[in-house]
Chains A and B, each alone.
Chain A
């Protein structure tokens, strides 16, 4: 199975049906992408496939063959840096476990929409659960990143 992970070509000897989440975590060994529910209900496992946020727990390894996968470890570029900087400036994190997924979803949103409204944020981020309920700061950080990108 060949694909590009955070800019590097990878070939994995693994069952194509293995969820991308477990391939990234258990075979490649990149652990920033988290397991939260295994059923695309919480967003903790969000990664980008060709720039679009997807839930890696419900994406088969075979489905990313030949594609570009980006995880939290590979976040960069103008939007990625603005998002991470805003997260740090506002001290968004508490336990931090969901935040890789939150950041991947936020980068996805801001890559498509540089001036999201609160409603845009609700619809882009509602799939990402935070049991610490850091939502208020996530919202503020997305607005902060948007203003720095403007």
Chain B
């Protein structure tokens, strides 16, 4: 599947990382641009280089741009794939700038690993790990405050008044009888030195942060005008679809393209590392041309031939042996041996496709000295480096135009930059004659790998006679998320991929005798993070097991958790708010059940209570109540939306999502086999946010992990039947 070998990739990334290693951080400088705009950036390059860069491009070095018409554009270094980060990041700037929300705009920043580094996992311009607001918080507050300071200084000079006499409110500067807009002072402000230290607001003075502001993208996403990569049209552009092998690791040996080439509109057929690319004047012709390819022979010598049933058998055998230690506290075996009661459980998790609504696609076009790529780009500078590697260019010769992404859920944050690299190989194979729009069909997407890995867990835990946890042993089996990626060194320690065991090995519950083992498996199915990464499986196992232990101990699940979280005020705060809002103390009633889960991921704590009812022998999810501590709530309504959506995404995984392989061939192809959650299955979701004065933490992913375990716990409450492995087989459920 990989266009370049892992070794080539590592060398390339190492070189790339060195090229962009940060030199200085946090140095502010204003730039006067030809348009008379004020541009503020937290940049890392020497001033001279920055000034030079300004002359040949539209300000590639800034976060805040104030135009003469007073519109304020925030350059967004992250991808907005629906999580609302354009609105979120613009809010942070607007707050410190004292702008009016109506003057705020957002634009995706060009690719630059120095200027637009993700401060939590760089040097890479990338979006993931629910870091967008968290890593931008201080950076953008400073950028906004610096711009405000300079506008005030410019106004003070013009009006001949002390800067201290000027107030700024809703985008208007005022002093005595003087009053002016940002646009009037943008040019003068840009000529001033940028303050080295700016005073940031006391959070109690926030007027925008914490309020409901309209999303910046609602208008263009409701009139058909929002441009996604699929909507890019370039002169002479050809659409390409690729016939890929049925088995992962196979390559094309031979094929007959004669019939394909006869399809009206088909222009070319070329072999590329990923398979056979059919190029045509429109998408339909390309798809028809692909269907007409004949006599394809694949080389399956290195292909994955196992099915998921065989893999699961192997995983179960591994779980019966000792793995690498991922966590060790006290003596788990001894604690369990001496326990009054024990709980044992096994959990299987399938491969999962991300299936964003916009099938993967991008446009690549040859330019004077390089290429331009239009993509819903989530790892901009990695895509830049990989494309440069494929085409023999320098990273800076690859221009990335980030556009709205029609969902991702992790899929577009792809370390080998798979689909972008595919497009580059097609451009190369056709000598760059025409711009290429590579389009994956839904079948390509569902069958295309980069799944959340399969996992298998085995847990044994014991209770003392007085209902305390005596010991906990857990075996986790599955492929690594991080091996072979640029994040490997950071994530894998002594053979243990921290992301495989996150949420279990580092549980917040105070368990004295505790052991977690990891078995990392080698399978040729390419895998990837999927909205909430390791927490997609660990939270389920921990929260179901905790529920089983609480019930075995005859304890209330909320009280049982509170006791295990005594020194965790954020967790107990969430639990208490959740119990209150969900009316936890009230009995669910006949034919109904209620379950709870609490989990921390991406530094955010989310508690979920799910109410179910049994109707005609069928489980129905009635209501989900969530409580969230994600630090300061920048946009409470966007947070609510992320948790609502996270609940729906988690429910889909709990009820339906499953990729299976038969002898290495994926058995699902479209939304009839890989079942998405639909309107009729969506419960009412309530989201409650714990007030906080701490810096913001993640919100795109943390709503997901608690859904499946809260549902398992609710079903048990309603029926006494325990469903553990995902997806739940509700059709087998007997009321």
A residues lining the B interface (CB < 8 Å): 15, 18-19, 22, 25-27, 29-39, 41-42, 44, 71-73, 75, 84, 87-88, 91-100, 103, 121-123, 125-139
Contacts and interface: CB of A to CB of B under 8 A. Distances in A.
Contact of B284 (A26, A39, A128, A138): A26
A128 B679 contact: yes
Given A26-B283, A88-B219, A34 B358 contact: yes
A84 B221 CA distance: 10
Determine chain A's interface SS by DSSP, over half rule. loop
A88 B682 CA distance: 21
B437 to A, nearest CB: 10
Nearest to A42: B671
Interface string B357-385: 11100000000000000000000000000
Contact of A95 (B358, B359, B647): B358
Interface in B217-234: 217-228, 230-231, 233
A25 to B, nearest CB: 7
Nearest to B685: A136
Contact of B679 (A44, A100, A135): A135
A84 B223 contact: yes
A72 B223 contact: yes
B672 to A, nearest CB: 6
B127 to A, nearest CB: 13
A134 B225 CA distance: 20
Of A15, A84, A99, most buried by chain B (CB within 10 Å of CB) is: A99
A5 to B, nearest CB: 13
B670 interface: yes
Interface string B539-561: 00000000000000000000000
B376 to A, nearest CB: 9
Contacts of A22: 282-284
Of A33, A88, A130, most buried by chain B (CB within 10 Å of CB) is: A130
Contact of B82 (A19, A25, A39, A132): A132
Nearest to A85: B222
A29 B406 contact: no
Given A38-B441, A96-B217, A129 B224 contact: no
Interface stretch (B478-486, B487-495, B637-645): B637-645
Nearest to B673: A41
Interface in B640-654: 641, 644-649, 651-652
21 contacts: A36-B358, A37-B442, A41-B672, A42-B676, A73-B224, A91-B214, A93-B221, A94-B83, A95-B81, A95-B358, A96-B82, A96-B221, A97-B357, A98-B357, A100-B224, A130-B648, A132-B357, A132-B645, A133-B652, A135-B679, A136-B685
B573 interface: no
Contact of B671 (A27, A41, A75): A41
Contacts of A36: 357-359, 442
Given A42-B676, A133-B647, 10 more contacts: A34-B357, A36-B359, A71-B224, A96-B82, A126-B678, A129-B678, A131-B407, A132-B407, A133-B682, A137-B644
Interface string B331-366: 000000000000000000000000111110000000
A39 to B, nearest CB: 5
A139 to B, nearest CB: 7
Contact of A133 (B81, B677, B684): B677
A131 B224 contact: no
B404 interface: yes
Contacts of B81: 95
Contacts of A95: 81-82, 356-358, 404-408
Contacts of B441: 38
B456 interface: no
Contacts of A135: 648, 677-679, 682
Contacts of B282: 18, 22, 26-27
Contacts of B180: none
Given A38-B442, A131-B355, A97 B407 contact: yes
Contact of A134 (B230, B239, B645): B645
B222 A33 contact: no
B671 A30 contact: no
B698 interface: no
10 closest Cβ pairs, A-B complex: A32-B224, A133-B648, A97-B406, A95-B82, A96-B221, A94-B82, A72-B224, A31-B231, A135-B682, A26-B282
B264 interface: yes
A46 to B, nearest CB: 12
A31 B227 contact: yes
Contacts of B245: none
A7 to B, nearest CB: 15
Interface string B204-226: 00000000001101111111111
A75 to B, nearest CB: 8
Contacts of A93: 82, 215, 217-218, 221-222
B224 A33 contact: yes
A139 B684 CA distance: 10
A94 B218 CA distance: 8
Contact of A87 (B222, B233, B406, B649): B222
B680 interface: yes
Contacts of B439: 35
A37 B671 contact: yes
B409 interface: yes
A129 B217 CA distance: 20
B676 A88 contact: no
Contact of A138 (B214, B652, B672, B679): B679
Interface in B406-428: 406-409
A105 B510 CA distance: 51
Contact of B215 (A27, A91, A138): A91
A18 B679 CA distance: 30
A133 B645 contact: yes
B143 to A, nearest CB: 25
B680 A122 contact: yes
B649 A131 contact: yes
B395 interface: no
A125 B233 CA distance: 31
A123 B230 CA distance: 29
B678 A35 contact: no
Nearest to B239: A26
A22 B219 CA distance: 25
A108 to B, nearest CB: 14
A61 to B, nearest CB: 10
Contacts of A73: 223-224
Contacts of B647: 133
Nearest to B225: A32
A18 to B, nearest CB: 5
Nearest to B407: A95
